[in-house]
Structure formats: structure tokens, C-alpha cells
């Protein structure tokens, strides 16, 4: 293919040279058309397309003007004027010989798999008016020669991997109407020369890394209609000149660092339809007459800022508003009655403000909205709403689809603020909301039973959440009417009685949370019909009976918590019951059996006594005699084996003397269960106290005892010893010694002794088991960043700076251990691969094993059988980053083939950040929003966004697209420094 391309290049150059020497006339025209054909064939030659490609018919057997995607002109029928090859499934590079299509006016290569740079030769196409290379994998910077396309009106390079600054030469394209550079990695400031494009109507630069202030000369763009700068790092104030643009219709400045107030000029832009400034640090009030001129406004998003004051009554003048989002600010007072006059309103988001509503008159806006029959989404959680839930909600029966009135009992602080929370009974009239798909009333002070009428809302599907209230009584059998319900939360109430068997009729139920109530009786057998269950939490109730076997048959079940009840009998061992980390059974003293990792007592079987007692004595005597003979044989075999066993070497790794089995027995108190720290596939880890050689002091150690009966355990032992033999790094778990010996029964015994990590594993901090703990573990944002930086240092050493490149192959939160100073150490090298140089090719060492990591963390290419590489560790690290920020395992029940942890985070990065962030961090942000320095809150939000983007970048599907350890460390350094600087500023203020 490369040879063919080279031939086309050379031949085309010859043609061009001959064309330069030919005088005007038919010969020149013939050479020009031949040049077009050669340019197209050259373009094809640089693409990786098979015989089924849409370009398969591009051959000299037919005229090129008839080829798919090729458009020739009317005045010059043999000259190519357009290439329309969007979504042609093309891969490869863009040929620079397209620059020879001198009559080309439109080039459309969008939505393909093109790689490499944008050829600067394209920029000599003086007739080119439209260039669309969006949604490919183009890299490097935008060519500065782009200014040569002087006729260019539409330039779309969005959704690529372009970097660097926006070239100054684009400012010379005076006819530019539409400029789209969004979703790249462009940096630097928005160049002021862009504001010289007086014809520009559409400017889209969102989701880049642009910084600095918006150019104050943006008011020069007198034709501008659409401006989208979302998701950058812009700072400073919004230029007042922007509000003077006469045709401005769409403005999106969300997710930046903008500060100051909204310029008064903005409230006079009569053409404005959409105005979004959410997630900045803007402040100030909305003027009383702000909406008088905004009669065409349809969307206004000012959420997650520092606005205060009242919502003005003039909002009724913006009668076309469809979405009003003012959440996460400091707005106070009541919702004005005039909101009820917004007849087109379908989304009202006022949550996380200081808005009050305690009297019936405070809810009159709902009565007015009922007349419009348009409101679909009502979000008023985390405000200061109290008293009884208004009956007027039921008047929205023809439109309302989702209600969130949660957390009004948590008004910026914990514990509950009972005065500012809904109380009384949940009105039965909510059953009139026949189009409702989601209802969230959690964390209030509701009493009484759950109204049966709610269970008759057949559309209720996404969630029904009444948790953390004071609800009483039983759950009625009518809950079975909610056959489409996916998630039911009724935890932390005073509900009693038995779990209704009709719950088994909710065939789509995935998540069931009934913990911390007073339910009694057994688990209904009809729940066995819920094959799609993913999370079930029945902990801390008064339930009893045996654990049903059907839970073990649910292939989708990821977590089962039945702790602190009175269940008894034998615990199953199949399905989820075979995974000790996926079930919680504490506080059920009568359970027995189960897998060994659960450490339950064996189940006794009361056999009937023998009627013929005369047979007992002979049987006993026979058994004793047989046992004696077998014992003698066993001793002889053991003695023979000991004699044949060669003495183990004094060292297994340089600088690490071996230790005896008896020393480890003493150190671990005979490997007692009280010293057990954890158990994995290939070994169990015990805490031990090891005497030094002089016997004067003891050192705490962790002893990993290999389960030699497990297939692959010996290879794991060898791999770990081989990997750690010469490794020395602050962020790797340090090996103290090893043991190759024989236990008291004559069996082989192998163990590795490490430094003890008193703060346990990272997994234990991210996903703590709170049962029996006096204090809940918590990692703040700075600690999480520091731990991620420690792990990145460890990977950088393993991949680049050790004696030989080492691939860990099993990086996950349970293999990151924390010392007393919360410094992270990477451990468990049982699957590690050592690479060595041979004939310029990196080969795997003999320690390689077939196992390629843990589900959820293992790189996708391993599933296809590809050889392990450092890129695989980077993928696992990316997943670890996302786990650290979201607080969710990659194997969480909510993640399926349709939605992975990475995809969940990507959704959150598009305006729903707090929906994906770990609840411990987001609650901290909400609290800080109310009580602490708000700039600190904004800094933390920016850091969270940077961390999530880092995790997404590291976990790209394509291995070569993932970041290097050096770039990861640099990015984390910047994040940590910004947090440290913020802490210093706060300390100075105090």
C-alpha cells in the first residue's frame, strides 16, 4: 500500500511539473483533469479500506466524476468541486495531494477513523468554502497555513485530538461564518484576532483547555448568533460587550472559572433564546426587571454558582421559558407566584438553595402551573421547605413525570433539620400523578404509612425513594402493581410486617433497599422471580428463616446484604454466595456452612442413633486400628519426603534471608483467625509480630501464605518473588523475607513476608464495611489525589525506571495499601510480568500466567487475547481514578454492557458532575457551599472534573490513546498544587 502511494505521489508530481511547462490550451486542461484523478487515487491509496469499502469502485475503469462521493462542476464538468465522504468508514491518513484539487469547494470527511495530522497542503485550496474533518482521530496542531483558504466559510474540526493553540492565521479568514473546534485538546487563550471575523455567526469551542479571560473585543462579532465555550478553564468576568450583540441567540459558558456578576447588558438581549452559565463562580443578584426584554428566552441555566437574592417576579415576561435551572446557589425567599404563569415550563430546578415554603400560600405557583399542564420535572430538594406536602402537586397529573423533594431535612448540614423539612403524611392524592416515572421524597420527616395509591401509578419506573423518613406500618401488597419499577428505596424508616410477596411481580426491579427498618418474617419465595436484581439490602431488620437458594441463581446480582437479622441454617455456596466480598452476613449467629472465606461454623447433621448397639464397639475398634495403621504409613512417608527434600536456599531474593515456618507460626499466633487480614485467590494474609535477630524488639509484618492447592498459586509465588527481587521504591510494598519450608503435617509451605500497612487497603477506605465499626472511614479530596499520585509514581518506576520493565497486571483498589502516614504502596505482584530486551523486541518472562487481571479493571484488549503491556496497567489505573472519585466499583450493579463506569462518568462530565461524584465528597461540597469559603468549593469542583477527565483519558479503549505515566504525574501534580494553594489561602484568611 505504501509503495502504491509513493508511485502516485511521484507520478502526480511529474504531471504537475509538466503542467507548469505547458501553455494554456486543451493540453493544459487535460493535464489538470488528470491531476484531479491522480489526487483522488492518491487519497484512496493512503486509506485502509477493504474490498467492501465504498471506495472500492474508485478505479480508472470508470470516470472519476462518477465515483461515490465525488462531485464535479457544471461550468467545468471534469473538475472536482466537492468530496462528500462523511461516514464512509474510512481509516488511514489524509493525503496531502488533495491540495491539488484546485477547484475544490467542499471537503467533507466527517465521522470516519482518520488519523495523523491535517495536511497543510489543504490550505492552498483557494476556492475551498467548506472543510469538515470532525469526529475523527486527527492529532497535532491546526496548521497555521489554514489562512491560505481565503474563501473558507465553514470550518469544522471538532471531536478530534487536536492540541496546541488556535493559530493566528484563522483571523485572516474574513468570510468565515461557522467555526467549530469543540471537543479537542486545544489550549491557550481565545485569540483576540477571532473577534475580527465580523461575518462569524456560529462559534463553538466547548470542551477544550482554553484559559484566560474572554476577549473584551468579543462585541466586534456583530453577526454572532451562537457562542458555546462550555467546559474550558476560562476565568475573569463576562465581557459586557457580549450583551450588546444584536443577533445573539445562544450562549453557553458553563463549566468554567468565570467570576463577577452577569453584565446588565445581557438582560436586554431581546434575541436571546438560551443562556447557560452554570458551574462557575458568578455572583450577584438577578435584577428585578431582568426578564422584561427576554421575551424569546427558552432556556436559562445559572446553577452551581454564588447567586443570591430573590427570583424576580418579572420572570413571567419570559413566557417562553421551558427550562429554569437555578439550583445550588443562595437564592432565598419563596418561589414567586409568577413562575406559575410560565405556560411552556417543563423543567423547574431550584434545589440546593435557601428557598422557603412553609405555608399553603407559598405553593400557589404550583396551582397556577397546573393550568398550563406542561411541567414534567420538579426538583426542589435540599431547600428549606417544611410543613405538609402541598395537595396542589396532584393537580399536575396531566404532565408531571419526575418529582424530587429529597433532603429538605438536611439543609446544608447534618443532622436533620426537622423544622425545615416536610412532615405529616405523604398525601394519597399523589396517586393522581398518572404519568409519574420517578418520585423521590427521601430525607424528610414524613410519618404514617406509604400511601397505597402511590403503588397504583403504573408508569412509576425509574425510582421510588421514600428512605430516611419516619414512615410506619407495612408495605402493602399493591406494590406489585409497579411492574416497571427499577429501583425501590424505603431504608431507614420504621416500617414493619413482612416484605410483601407481591414485590416479586415487579419484574424489572434491579435495586432494593429496605435496610434499617423493623421487617420480620422470612424472605418471600416469589422474589425468586426477580431475575434482574443487582443490589439487595435487607440489613438491620428483624427478619428470620433460611436464606433462599434462588439468590445464588441470579446472574446479575452483585451485592446482597442480609446482616444483622436472625437468619439461620445453611448458607448456599453458589452464585453470589461464592464471592465473600459481594455478600454481608454479619449479625446472624445461627448461620452455618457457606464458603471458607466467610468463616462460618460447619452445619451439624443430627444422625439417628443405631438400634443395634452391639455393632458400635466392633466398628469403633476397627476404625481405631485402621487409623493407627494409616498414621504409621503417613509418618513413614513424611520422613521419606523430608529426607528427599533438598534444603531450601538461604535466600530467595538478593538481600532477603529466608525465615522458618516455626517463626511464622509464632509470629501469627498459629495463623489464628483473629490475625487474618484478608484472603484472595492464591493466598491468605495474616498480621504478625516478627522478632528481630537479637530478640530485642518486634516488627509488625503481613504474611502472605500461599494456597498451594489452588492452580497457579506456585506460579503466582514465583512471579511475585521474581518481580520484587530487585525492585526498590517508596510506593511499592516492601518485602521483608520469604519462607520455603514444610509445615507440621509434612506439606510444602510457601509464604512471603511484607511490611505491615496499618491503614489497610484503599478498597477498605473507598468501600468500608461499616458494620461493627465505631468510626466510618473517609478520604478527603486532597488525600485521594495524593494516593493517586503515589500509585502513579509506582507505575512510572515499574514501567520506566526499574532494573527491567515490569507490568503489574492486577492494579486495583484492594492491591493499594496505606501506611501509617497514608502513603500508598502498590502490592500483590502475583500476576506481574517482567519484560526483557531481546532482538529489539520486548518479551515476557517465564513468570507470565494466563490470568490477566480482575474483571472491571483488566484492559479490554486482554479479553481479545492480546499480550500484556504497560498500556494495560494504565487502563487499570484509569479505572482506579474513576473509582476514587465516584466511590463506585467498576463492577457495581448499575454498570452493565450498556453502561460502564467510564460511560457513567462521561455522562456526568456533561453537566451532571455531582451525580457521579462519591456521595462523601459531594455532601462535603454541599456543606461547604453553605458554610465555608466558596472559592475553595469551586477549586474542588475543578479538581474533580480534572480527575474524572484523567480517568477517562487513561481508560480509553485504544491502548495507544492512553496517557503515559509521565503525563499522569504532571497532571496530578497540577491538581494537588491547586488544592494546596487553596488550603494556604484559607489558612491565611483565618
The values of phi and psi at residue 467, to 5°, are -70, 160
Q: Give the integer Cα–Cα distance in Å for 294 and 415.
A: 42
Report helix, strand or coil for 208.
coil
* C-alpha count within 13 angstroms, C-beta hemisphere, residue 694: 2
Distances (CA, A) of 740 to 516, 631, 833: 49, 25, 22
Compute and round to an integer the Cα radius of gyration of the chain.
34
Joined grid coordinates for residue 849: 500466567
Distances in whole angstroms, Cα of residue 909 to Cα of each of 209, 212, 279, 863, 927: 14, 21, 11, 28, 22
Task: State the Cα–Cα distance between residues 485 and 504, nearest whole angstrom.
Answer: 11
Q: What is the DSSP letter of 178?
A: E
Report CA-CA distances (Å) from 28 to 17, 20, 21, 37: 11, 9, 9, 14
Return the number of other C-beta atoms located less than 10 Å from residue 291's C-beta.
22
Strand pairing category for 202-204 and 824-826: unpaired
> No. of H helices and E strands in the chain?
15, 56
581 CB contacts (<8 Å, ≥6 apart)?
none
Contact between 658 and 750 under an 8 Å Cβ cutoff? The reply is no
Rounded Cα–Cα distance for residues 419 and 857 (Å): 46
CA dist 346 to 298, 349, 391, 400, 468, Å?
10, 10, 20, 8, 28
Q: Which of 36, 156, 178, 810 is catalytic?
A: 810
Nearest to 648 by CA among 750, 753, 718: 750
**Residue of 878, 925, 920, 924 lying closest to 903 (CA atoms):** 878
Find out whether 462 and 486 touch, Cβ atoms under 8 Å: yes
Q: How far apart are alpha carbons 720 and 714 in whole angstroms?
A: 10
Q: Nearest 5°: phi and psi at 862?
A: -65, -35
Beta strands 542-545 and 566-571, pairing class? parallel
**Contact of 532 with 556, CB cutoff 8 Å:** yes
Round to whole Å and give the CA distance between 340 and 364. 8
Write phi, then psi, for 20 (nearest 5 degrees): -70, -25
Q: How far apart are CA 237 and CA 462, in angstroms?
A: 40
Gap between the Cα atoms of 808 and 794, Å rounded: 10
> In the chain, helix, strand, coil percent, each to 5?
35, 20, 45
E strand map for 634-787: 651-653, 656-657, 676-679, 683-691, 698-706, 735-742, 748-755
Please name the residues in contact with 404: beta carbons below 8 A apart, sequence gap of 6 or more.
351, 378, 379, 380, 381, 438, 440
- Tallying the residues shown for the chain, one arrives at 990
Burial classification of residue 650, based on how many CB atoms lie within 10 Å of its CB (0-12 exposed, 13-18 middle, 19 or more buried): exposed
Q: Tell me how far apart the alpha carbons of residues 704 and 828 are, in angstroms, rounded to a whole number.
A: 10
Tracing cell 455567526 back to the chain, one arrives at 201
CA distance 45 to 6: 9
The DSSP symbol for 711 reads T
**Separation between Cα atoms, residue 982 and residue 985, nearest integer Å:** 5
Among this protein's residues, is 810 annotated catalytic? yes
Which grid cell is 90? 474510512
Annotated catalytic sites, by residue? 810
Amino acid at each position: 500500500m505504501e509503495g502504491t502511494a509513493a508511485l502516485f505521489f511521484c507520478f502526480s508530481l511529474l504531471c504537475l511539473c509538466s503542467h507548469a511547462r505547458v501553455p494554456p490550451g486543451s493540453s493544459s486542461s487535460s493535464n489538470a483533469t488528470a491531476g484531479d484523478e491522480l489526487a483522488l487515487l492518491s487519497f484512496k491509496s493512503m486509506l485502509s479500506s477493504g474490498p467492501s469499502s465504498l471506495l472500492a469502485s474508485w478505479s480508472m475503469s470508470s470516470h472519476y466524476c462518477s465515483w461515490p462521493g465525488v462531485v464535479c462542476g457544471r461550468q467545468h464538468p471534469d473538475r472536482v468541486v466537492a468530496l462528500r465522504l462523511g461516514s464512509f468508514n474510512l481509516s488511514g491518513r489524509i493525503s496531502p495531494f488533495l491540495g491539488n484539487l484546485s477547484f475544490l469547494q467542499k471537503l467533507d470527511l466527517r465521522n470516519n477513523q482518520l488519523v495523523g495530522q491535517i495536511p497543510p497542503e489543504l490550505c492552498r485550496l483557494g476556492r475551498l468554502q467548506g472543510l469538515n474533518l470532525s469526529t475523527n482521530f486527527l492529532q497535532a496542531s491546526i496548521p497555521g497555513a489554514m489562512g491560505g483558504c481565503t474563501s473558507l466559510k465553514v470550518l469544522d474540526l471538532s471531536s478530534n485530538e487536536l492540541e496546541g493553540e488556535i493559530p493566528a492565521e484563522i483571523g485572516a479568514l474574513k468570510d468565515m461564518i461557522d467555526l467549530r473546534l469543540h471537543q479537542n485538546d486545544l489550549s491557550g487563550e481565545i485569540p483576540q484576532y477571532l473577534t475580527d471575523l465580523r461575518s462569524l455567526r456560529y462559534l463553538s469551542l466547548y470542551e477544550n483547555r482554553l484559559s484566560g479571560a474572554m476577549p473584551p473585543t468579543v462585541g466586534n462579532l456583530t453577526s454572532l448568533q451562537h457562542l458555546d465555550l462550555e467546559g474550558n478553564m476560562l476565568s475573569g468576568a463576562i465581557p459586557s460587550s457580549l450583551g450588546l450583540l444584536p443577533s445573539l441567540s445562544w450562549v453557553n459558558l458553563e463549566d468554567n472559572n468565570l467570576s463577577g456578576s452577569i453584565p446588565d447588558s445581557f438582560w436586554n438581549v431581546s434575541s436571546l433564546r438560551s443562556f447557560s452559565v452554570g458551574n462557575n463562580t458568578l455572583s450577584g443578584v438577578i435584577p428585578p426587571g431582568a426578564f422584561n426584554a427576554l421575551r424569546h428566552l427558552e432556556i436559562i441555566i445559572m446553577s452551581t454558582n454564588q447567586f443570591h437574592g430573590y427570583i424576580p417576579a418579572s420572570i413571567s415576561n419570559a413566557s417562553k421559558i421551558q427550562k429554569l435551572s437555578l439550583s445550588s446557589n443562595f437564592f432565598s425567599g419563596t418561589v414567586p407566584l409568577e413562575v406559575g404563569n410560565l405556560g411552556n415550563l417543563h423543567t423547574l430546578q431550584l434545589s440546593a438553595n435557601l428557598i422557603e415554603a412553609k405555608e399553603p400560600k407559598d405553593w400557589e405557583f404550583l396551582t397556577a402551573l397546573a393550568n398550563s399542564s406542561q411541567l414534567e420535572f420538579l426538583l426542589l430538594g435540599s431547600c428549606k421547605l417544611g410543613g405538609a406536602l402541598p395537595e396542589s402537586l396532584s393537580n399536575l397529573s396531566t404532565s408531571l413525570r419526575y418529582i424530587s423533594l429529597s433532603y429538605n431535612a438536611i439543609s446544608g448540614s447534618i443532622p436533620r433539620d426537622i423544622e425545615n423539612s416536610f412532615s405529616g403524611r405523604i398525601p394519597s392524592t399523589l396517586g393522581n400523578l398518572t404519568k409519574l416515572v420517578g418520585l423521590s421524597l427521601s430525607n424528610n420527616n414524613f410519618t404514617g404509612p406509604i400511601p397505597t395509591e402511590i403503588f397504583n401509578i403504573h408508569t412509576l419506573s425509574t425510582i421510588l425513594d421514600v428512605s430516611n423518613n419516619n414512615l410506619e406500618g407495612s408495605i402493602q401488597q399493591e406494590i406489585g402493581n409497579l411492574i416497571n419499577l427499577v429501583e425501590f428505596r424505603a431504608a431507614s424508616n420504621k416500617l414493619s410486617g413482612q416484605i410483601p410477596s407481591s414485590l416479586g411481580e415487579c419484574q424489572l426491579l434491579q435495586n432494593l433497599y429496605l435496610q434499617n427498618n423493623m421487617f420480620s418474617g422470612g424472605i418471600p419465595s416469589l422474589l425468586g422471580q426477580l431475575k434482574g436484581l443487582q443490589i439487595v439490602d435487607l440489613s438491620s431488620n428483624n427478619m428470620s428463616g433460611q436464606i433462599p437458594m434462588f439468590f445464588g441463581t441470579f446472574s446479575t446480582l452483585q451485592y446482597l446484604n442480609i446482616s444483622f437479622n436472625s437468619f439461620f441454617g445453611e448458607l448456599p455456596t453458589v452464585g453470589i454466595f461464592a464471592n465473600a466480598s459481594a455478600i454481608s452476613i454479619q449479625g446472624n449467629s445461627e448461620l452455618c456452612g457457606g464458603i471458607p472465606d466467610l468463616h462460618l461454623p460447619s452445619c451439624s447433621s443430627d444422625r439417628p442413633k443405631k438400634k443395634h448397639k452391639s455393632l458400635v464397639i466392633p466398628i469403633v475398634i476397627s476404625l481405631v486400628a485402621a487409623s493407627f495403621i494409616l498414621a504409621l504409613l503417613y509418618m513413614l512417608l513424611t520422613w521419606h519426603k523430608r529426607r528427599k527434600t533438598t534444603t531450601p536456599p538461604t535466600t530467595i531474593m538478593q538481600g532477603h534471608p529466608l525465615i522458618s515456618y516455626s517463626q511464622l507460626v509464632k509470629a501469627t499466633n498459629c495463623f489464628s483467625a483473629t490475625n487474618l487480614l484478608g484472603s484472595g485467590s492464591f493466598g491468605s494474609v495474616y498480621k504478625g509480630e516478627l522478632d528481630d535477630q537479637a530478640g530485642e524488639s518486634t516488627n509488625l509484618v503481613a504474611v502472605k501464605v500461599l494456597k498451594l492447592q489452588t492452580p497457579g498459586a506456585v506460579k503466582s509465588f514465583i512471579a511475585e518473588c521474581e518481580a520484587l527481587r530487585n525492585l526498590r521504591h517508596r510506593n511499592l510494598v516492601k518485602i521483608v523475607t520469604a519462607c520455603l519450608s514444610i509445615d507440621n503435617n509434612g506439606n510444602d509451605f510457601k509464604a512471603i513476608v511484607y511490611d505491615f500497612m496499618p491503614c489497610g487497603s484503599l478498597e477498605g477506605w473507598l468501600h468500608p464495611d461499616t458494620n461493627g465499626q465505631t468510626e466510618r472511614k473517609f478520604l478527603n479530596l486532597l488525600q485521594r489525589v495524593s494516593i493517586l499520585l503515589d500509585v502513579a509514581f509506582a507505575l512510572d518506576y515499574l514501567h520506566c525506571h526499574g532494573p527491567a520493565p515490569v507490568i503489574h497486571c492486577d492494579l486495583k483498589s484492594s492491591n493499594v495499601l496505606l501506611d501509617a502516614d497514608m502513603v500508598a504502596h502498590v502490592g500483590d505482584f502475583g500476576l506481574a510480568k517482567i519484560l526483557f530486551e531481546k532482538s529489539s523486541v520486548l518479551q515476557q518472562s517465564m513468570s507470565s500466567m494466563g490470568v490477566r487481571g480482575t474483571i472491571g479493571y483488566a484492559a479490554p484488549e486482554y479479553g481479545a487475547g492480546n499480550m500484556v503491556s504497560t498500556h494495560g496497567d494504565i487502563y487499570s489505573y484509569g479505572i482506579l481514578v474513576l473509582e476514587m472519585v465516584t466511590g463506585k466499583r467498576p463492577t457495581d450493579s448499575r454498570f452493565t454492557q450498556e453502561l460502564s463506569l467510564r460511560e457513567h462518568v462521561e455522562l456526568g462530565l456533561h453537566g451532571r458532575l455531582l451525580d457521579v461524584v462519591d456521595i462523601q465528597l459531594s455532601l462535603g461540597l454541599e456543606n461547604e457551599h453553605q458554610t465555608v469559603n466558596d472559592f475553595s468549593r469551586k477549586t474542588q469542583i475543578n479538581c474533580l472534573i480534572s480527575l474524572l477527565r484523567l480517568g477517562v483519558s487513561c481508560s480509553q479503549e485504544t491502548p495507544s490513546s492512553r496517557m503515559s505515566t509521565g503525563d499522569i504525574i504532571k497532571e496530578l501534580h497540577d491538581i494537588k498544587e491547586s488544592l494546596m494553594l487553596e488550603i494556604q489561602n484559607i489558612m491565611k484568611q483565618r
